[in-house]
Amino acid sequence: MGPREVTTLVVVAILVFAAQLAAGVYQRFGDAEFVFFHIPRHSGAGVSGLFWQWNHLAGLLAILLPFFLGIAFTSRRWAMRGMFLGLVLTGVWLAYLTKSRAGFFAVMAGLGCVGVVFLLWKAQTWSFSARVAAWSGLLLVGIAAAIGMMMVVSSISEDRGQGADIENALGKGSRLGLAGLAFDLWKEEPVFGNGSQSFRYLAVQNWDYQSLGGSMGNPETVHNEYLQVLTDYGLVGFLLVMTFLVVVLLCALIPPREENDPPGAVTRGLRMGAAGGLL
């Protein structure tokens, strides 16, 4: 990808983010029922931007924000670093306004992965003691982030009228219930899986409304990409996906051809964002 294509990609990403931010802010502080495509919103509890459902906006942010953070880490210009860090912080705030618990977690996990990839890249030339200090600091930051995430998820659940108890948000009537069901379905066909999109119809056949919560409706996805791949494509598909993720990670750590050229720094940032967003 040449400099012009990289610049075009980044500009388009910023414009898409700006449009979603404008719509989300208007929904939050102006008209909560505002929609762009004249499709009734799924819920007015959280903002959804130009989408009809808050999870869709949170999913988009989980893709865009790691890219922005990667560019902020690798850019040689302080003004560009500040701009992209501002975009990241604004995006985290917008992700919170969506009131999507899984979406907010995906955003923060992606940003954390970008930080880890960046540290792996920088630590290649560091001394052993500097590496130990850096990883120790990262561990402490990770623990603090995990505590903060629990508090945020609790706050979002309370805002959605579902109580502040973490167990209610992640209990077996919600995400953990879907994960357990997906794991049971995978054990039936562990090597090649049950087939593409098999969870969509197998879950309905095995859905226990009393123990897993009928209020969630008929589940169509696991809400966990790794378990989704295991259920649909088995260990073979899972290994293929993991191989692809390893290649993306290696591309983030291997220097671009023109390392001293500013577009090369942006390219590295995009690679780090891809690694963080996909992991």
Alpha carbon distance 17, 201 (integer Å): 34
Sole residue written with tokens 């087939």: 195
Supply the pLDDT for residue 41: 67
Supply the pLDDT for residue 215: 47
More confident residue, 80 or 263: 80
pLDDT in tens, 196-236: 888 888 877 766 555 555 445 556 778 788 889 999 999 99
Nearest residue to 97 via CA among 12, 29, 145: 29
- Residues 87 and 273 sit within 8 Å (Cβ to Cβ): no
Collect all residues with Cβ–Cβ distance below 8 Å to 21 and sequence separation of at least 6.
49, 90, 91, 94
Asked if pLDDT for residue 76 goes beyond 60, the answer is yes
> Which amino acid does the sequence have at 23?
A
**pLDDT band at 277; cut points 50, 70, 90:** confident
Q: What percent of the chain has pLDDT over 90?
A: 27
Alpha carbon distance 18, 91 (integer Å): 10
Q: In degrees to the nearest 10, what's the CA dihedral of 40, 154, 149, 167? A: -100
Phi, psi of 43 (to 5 degrees): -160, 145
pTM: 0.80
Nearest residue to 107 via CA among 65, 142, 146, 68: 65
Nearest residue to 76 via CA among 271, 254, 266: 266
- Residues 229 and 189 sit within 8 Å (Cβ to Cβ): no
pLDDT in tens, 22-58: 999 999 998 888 887 767 766 667 888 888 888 889 9
Asked if pLDDT for residue 84 goes beyond 90, the answer is yes
Alpha carbon distance 49, 219 (integer Å): 24
